A and B are shown apart, each in its own frame.
Chain A
Amino acid sequence: MTGPQQPETEQKGMSRRNFMKNTGLVAGGLVGGSLLGGLVTNQVKKPTTGNEASTENLLEARTFFSRSEDFEILSAAAERIFPKDDLGPGAIELGVPYFIDRQLSGEWGTNAKEYMRGPFPQNAEKANYEDKDRQQDEQGPNAETQVPAPTPRYQTPMTRAEIFTEGVRALEQTAQEKYDTNFRKLEASQQDEILQLFNEGKGKMNGVSSETFFNLLLQTTIEGTYADPVYGGNRNMEAWRMKEFPGPRMGYTDGIDKKDFIVMKPESLRSYQGH
């Protein structure tokens, strides 16, 4: 099984396969992107609702954030970074906050595989190493594999989990100071304004620059949007569908030299591993 998979079946009306049969466009499972890409994207609307007892719903619980308010601030911030719009679901609908919560309780959030021995430099200049902004395209031979978030240079004894806890509370504090209300209750534009402040390193935060927190928030939001659903985000592979990404496949020996763009129904790691 090496070739491209069969095209995605539409949820209503004519399947794409039938459409192509009818229009004589079937070519070994290939779909011309310019002709059909738009059509496909437009027709994908609602995620499969799934039944209430599905595992996905059972995974909707916090394993890191102990205060629900903290989690709600995180959710509101992530949604501004990747908002729901005409193109499809946003961070909350995709389960991104749960993805981030779970990442923070695990190896990455606890910095288990990072060098965390002291001394940690105390002077301001060195403490701000992590502010150094780095574009994705300037990162060496693996630049292609990086998320489009600047990479901080880490020089703090705080773990990522600690930075997030401080960070969401700093967002809340800023909302209180500026607007006298909760971050999650602000208008989208007001939330954006505060996030932009943090993005520029001008937010008030303990331990690290607000930009460091923002960069981690941005990175994990994008990761949670597009990682395999097994990690709690990208619910029902909706983000993959939105981006026409097929998920892990055996290979594309028959497709690699083809000129037309090929759209496939996404498949997850679960199906790839044969469950």
Chain B
Amino acid sequence: MVKKLEKVNVVVVGSGWAGGIVSAEMAKAGHKVVLLERGKKQERSDYIGVKDELRYTNRYELMQNLSRETITSRVTMDETALPVRTRKEMMAGTDLGGGSVHWAGATYRWRAYDFEIRSKTIERYGKNKIPEGMTIQDWGITYDEMEPYYDRWEKTAGISGEPDPLGDKRSSDYPNPPMKESPALRLFKDTTKKMGYHPYQVASGNLSQAYTNPDGEAMNACMFCSYCTQYGCDFSAKSDPLATVIPTALKTNNCEIRTNSQVRRVLHSGGKATGVLYTDTRTGEEFEQPADIVVLAAFSFSNNRLLMLSEIGQQYDPKTRKGTIGRNFNAQTNITFQGARGYFEDKKFNLYMGAGALGAAMSDFAGDNFDHTDLDFINGGGIEIRQYGDAAIASNHVPDGTPKWGPEFKKNSIHYAYRNLRVWYTPAIMSWWFNYLDLDPTYKDEYGDPLLRVTFQYTDQDRNIAKFGIEKCTEIMKEMGADIIDPDSYPEQFDHVYDGGHYAGGVIMGADPATSAVNNYLQMWDMENLFVVGGSAFPQFAGHHPTATIGALGYRAAEGVEKYLKNAGPLVEAKHASLNA
């Protein structure tokens, strides 16, 4: 028996950056908001004193409990997908604040090129540069239009950084200066500068100084304790929704947060969303939460699956290449973060110190910053060095050729524990007609609903760009003076490991309803009072980490929801010139 609750203005599903921002903005504007989160309630005090590598890094304490639900995965359409069963292979965040609590903090704006990738690629290299079947497309919004939302999110989050010398125009500096520079970062910067490149400090959600954001939320300066990625912050020095938008939403008294609330359907009738159906995971009770506007702001997997289970929009079918829901799945995976590791006999770095986003980067081989005329791929990525701060289980890097176990492993792992650095490339991932999401025909969740199925394969584009990155990183490592250099090798094919959180697409943004599911306000073309916000909107993945773009999309969507509440109807006029490949 479903219990029907009192109607509110906006119901938001998911409490990470995207859902937190929309909830805070709507609540600030005086609208009644209910925010539903499948995981448990938590607050910043939950993370005081829990610097436990085994529990968080190796046992994935902050990740979704897969006994209830996971995804299935395959490479090509003719295979049977298998479930991704362990948290080592499937790290999706859960609990209040979502995956945004365990993020590292690396902050990049995506490039003007990224938002108009199809037009700009054709403009510079001609139509034939884009291979048949590569379904990359323009976002229906430009960098200049996105800029104010990036700016806004950076201020909310207190991002600490300096401008990318090869980046696009900014309306203002980051609200905080970059973090301190460690000797490892200095070595990377000095070396790449000498090589004629343009290094800079990675902008971070780890704060370089105490800061109060425009909503009045205070955060502390990061102390480089190194328990950061996959952890909640012990000191409120890593910006996340628990430190910012969640308390901002709550203090308005207009937002009610319900945790342990697993949304299972978007309810709709006559082409309009009417609310959501959710289950209290502690009691099994089912509730209907009616609302004027429904905002799906869960992880991209959940956004896709909820639309499919609710039968909203047209499921993408790779055979006909028609339909939009599930189209253009794109992800940074095990082919993405490749480079070279160097071992230094006469240098010892304090690698047990660090922070999630403590790093240096260069954009000389990012986006279209370099000429691709004679290259066998398009787009690019950042080259990064990061000093996360490795605890003792993680710091077991040994030169190639060392056995994985036994006396020689022991000797080398101890000797090189603080004598190795890694430089990697973070290339963009392009979309293809055969990479998509749909519902699995066999495997079910705890309620008997089908799991989401991922079909994803690498192409020459991925392998060529990875090879290019490995070569560049190896050159840099050589110049940095490493005594032993182990260039990474890239995998030929996807290994079904979803451990980085960078999985996107399926409910993508665009100008044409034939090839996109949402318009540039994240409003569904097929259901005007349903907004779908987050990484699910990326038509393809740019060559940098995604969080800032999700934050910016959150503010863009909030503006759209506000507009819609004032004046219902489509917020953007559809363009029907199909750009589909």
Q: Which residue of chain A has the shortest Cβ distance to B104 in the bound complex?
A: A141
B392 x A245 contact (CB < 8 A):
yes
A43 at the interface (CB under 8 A from B): no
CA distance A258 to B418 in the complex (A): 14
B406 x A226 contact (CB < 8 A):
no
Neighbouring B residues of A145 by C-beta, 8 Å = 57, 229-230, 388, 390, 394
Min C-beta distance of A192 to chain B, whole Å: 7
Please encode chain B, from 193 to 225, with 1 for each CB lying within 8 Å of some chain A CB and 0 for all others: 000000000000000000000000000011111
B502 x A251 contact (CB < 8 A):
no
Neighbouring B residues of A132 by C-beta, 8 Å = 495
A153 x B89 contact (CB < 8 A):
yes
Please encode chain A, from 172 to 199, with 1 for each CB lying within 8 Å of some chain B CB and 0 for all others: 0000000000000000000010010001
Please encode chain B, from 360 to 404, with 1 for each CB lying within 8 Å of some chain A CB and 0 for all others: 000000000000000000000000001010111111111000001
Which residue of the partner chain, among B83, B223, B495, contacts A252 with CB atoms under 8 Å? Answer: B223
Min C-beta distance of B230 to chain A, whole Å: 6
Instruction: Please judge, given known A-B contacts A154-B85, A222-B393, A250-B223, whether A137 and B341 are in contact too, CB under 8 Å.
Output: yes
A227 x B223 contact (CB < 8 A):
no
B31 at the interface (CB under 8 A from A): no
Instruction: Please judge, given known A-B contacts A37-B348, A139-B334, whether A257 and B49 are in contact too, CB under 8 Å.
Output: no
B405 x A81 contact (CB < 8 A):
yes
Neighbouring A residues of B53 by C-beta, 8 Å = 226-228
Which residue of the partner chain, among B82, B181, B336, B422, contacts A126 with CB atoms under 8 Å? Answer: B82
Q: Which residue of chain B has the shortest Cβ distance to A33 in the bound complex?
A: B348
CA distance A113 to B332 in the complex (A): 25
B285 at the interface (CB under 8 A from A): no
A142 x B392 contact (CB < 8 A):
no
CA distance A139 to B83 in the complex (A): 19
In the complex, number of A-B residue pairs with CB atoms less than 8 Å apart: 234
B229 x A121 contact (CB < 8 A):
no
B338 x A140 contact (CB < 8 A):
no
Please encode chain B, from 410 to 429, with 1 for each CB lying within 8 Å of some chain A CB and 0 for all others: 11011001100010000000
B310 at the interface (CB under 8 A from A): no
Instruction: Please judge, given known A-B contacts A138-B338, A143-B337, whether A223 and B495 are in contact too, CB under 8 Å.
Output: no
CA distance A221 to B70 in the complex (A): 28
B489 at the interface (CB under 8 A from A): yes
B422 x A144 contact (CB < 8 A):
yes
A116 x B85 contact (CB < 8 A):
yes
B131 at the interface (CB under 8 A from A): no
Please encode chain A, from 150 to 186, with 1 for each CB lying within 8 Å of some chain B CB and 0 for all others: 0101110000000000000000000000000000000
CA distance A147 to B352 in the complex (A): 15
Output the residue of A2, A111, A153, A242 with the most chain B CB within 10 A.
Answer: A153
Q: Which residue of chain A has the shortest Cβ distance to B402 in the bound complex?
A: A148
B281 at the interface (CB under 8 A from A): no
A87 at the interface (CB under 8 A from B): yes
Neighbouring A residues of B59 by C-beta, 8 Å = 107-108
A34 x B392 contact (CB < 8 A):
no
Neighbouring B residues of A57 by C-beta, 8 Å = none
A256 x B417 contact (CB < 8 A):
no
B348 x A115 contact (CB < 8 A):
no
A249 at the interface (CB under 8 A from B): yes
Q: Which residue of chain A has the shortest Cβ distance to B444 in the bound complex?
A: A117
Please encode chain B, from 15 to 59, with 1 for each CB lying within 8 Å of some chain A CB and 0 for all others: 000000000000000000000000000000000010111100111
A21 at the interface (CB under 8 A from B): no
A139 x B223 contact (CB < 8 A):
no
B500 at the interface (CB under 8 A from A): yes
B183 x A257 contact (CB < 8 A):
yes
Neighbouring A residues of B230 by C-beta, 8 Å = 142, 145
Neighbouring B residues of A121 by C-beta, 8 Å = 80, 82
At the interface with chain B, which of A7-15, A44-52, A59-67, A266-274? A266-274
Neighbouring A residues of B418 by C-beta, 8 Å = 33, 244, 261
B350 x A258 contact (CB < 8 A):
yes
CA distance A37 to B348 in the complex (A): 10
Q: Count residues on chain A whose CB falls below 8 Å from chain B CBs.
A: 81
Which residue of the partner chain, among B180, B334, B353, contacts A134 with CB atoms under 8 Å? Answer: B334
Which residue of the partner chain, among B348, B394, B502, contacts A140 with CB atoms under 8 Å? Answer: B502
B397 x A155 contact (CB < 8 A):
no
A245 x B49 contact (CB < 8 A):
no
A141 x B337 contact (CB < 8 A):
yes
Min C-beta distance of A141 to chain B, whole Å: 4
Instruction: Please judge, given known A-B contacts A148-B404, A227-B54, whether A138 and B491 are in contact too, CB under 8 Å.
Output: yes
B180 x A257 contact (CB < 8 A):
yes
A87 x B414 contact (CB < 8 A):
yes
CA distance A232 to B120 in the complex (A): 58
Neighbouring B residues of A107 by C-beta, 8 Å = 59
Instruction: Please judge, given known A-B contacts A115-B85, A138-B490, whether A251 and B225 are in contact too, CB under 8 Å.
Output: yes
Neighbouring A residues of B417 by C-beta, 8 Å = 243-245
Neighbouring B residues of A226 by C-beta, 8 Å = 53, 391-393, 396
B66 x A114 contact (CB < 8 A):
yes
A26 at the interface (CB under 8 A from B): no
Output the residue of B91, B388, B394 with the most chain A CB within 10 A.
Answer: B394
Instruction: Please judge, given known A-B contacts A81-B405, A113-B65, A252-B353, whether A142 and B499 are in contact too, CB under 8 Å.
Output: yes
A251 x B224 contact (CB < 8 A):
yes
Q: Which residue of chain B has the shortest Cβ distance to A246 in the bound complex?
A: B352
Min C-beta distance of B165 to chain A, whole Å: 22
Instruction: Please judge, given known A-B contacts A82-B410, A243-B417, A257-B183, whether A153 and B495 are in contact too, CB under 8 Å.
Output: yes
Neighbouring B residues of A248 by C-beta, 8 Å = 51-52, 225, 227
A140 x B87 contact (CB < 8 A):
no
Instruction: Please judge, given known A-B contacts A143-B337, A245-B391, whether A154 and B89 are in contact too, CB under 8 Å.
Output: yes
B488 x A138 contact (CB < 8 A):
yes
B182 at the interface (CB under 8 A from A): yes
Neighbouring A residues of B52 by C-beta, 8 Å = 228, 230, 248, 269
Min C-beta distance of A5 to chain B, whole Å: 12
Min C-beta distance of A39 to chain B, whole Å: 14
A83 x B406 contact (CB < 8 A):
yes
A137 x B422 contact (CB < 8 A):
yes
Instruction: Please judge, given known A-B contacts A2-B223, A140-B500, A255-B350, whether A147 and B182 are in contact too, CB under 8 Å.
Output: no
Please encode chain B, from 539 to 569, with 1 for each CB lying within 8 Å of some chain A CB and 0 for all others: 0000001000000000000000000000000
CA distance A259 to B185 in the complex (A): 11
B501 at the interface (CB under 8 A from A): yes
B405 x A82 contact (CB < 8 A):
yes
Neighbouring B residues of A261 by C-beta, 8 Å = 348-350, 418
A252 x B224 contact (CB < 8 A):
yes
Output the residue of A121, A148, A151, A273 with the most chain B CB within 10 A.
Answer: A148
CA distance A137 to B84 in the complex (A): 20
A218 at the interface (CB under 8 A from B): yes
A136 at the interface (CB under 8 A from B): yes
A142 x B66 contact (CB < 8 A):
no
Within A102-126, the residues touching B (CB, 8 Å) are: 107-108, 111-117, 119, 121, 126
7 contacts between A and B (CB under 8 A): A113-B66, A114-B85, A114-B86, A115-B85, A138-B334, A144-B386, A226-B393
Given contacts A153-B84, A234-B392, A251-B222, 4 further A-B contacts (CB under 8 A): A115-B67, A257-B180, A262-B350, A273-B49
Instruction: List the interface of chain A (C-beta within 8 A of B).
Output: 2, 33-34, 37, 80-83, 85, 87, 107-108, 111-117, 119, 121, 126, 129, 132, 134-149, 151, 153-155, 192, 195, 199, 218, 221-223, 226-228, 230-231, 234, 239-240, 242-246, 248-253, 255-259, 261-262, 269, 272-274
Instruction: List the interface of chain B (C-beta within 8 A of A).
Output: 49, 51-54, 57-60, 65-67, 69-70, 80, 82-89, 91, 104, 180-183, 221-227, 229-230, 235, 332-334, 336-338, 341, 346, 348-350, 352-354, 358, 386, 388, 390-398, 404-407, 409-411, 413-414, 417-418, 422, 442-444, 486, 488-491, 495-497, 499-502, 545
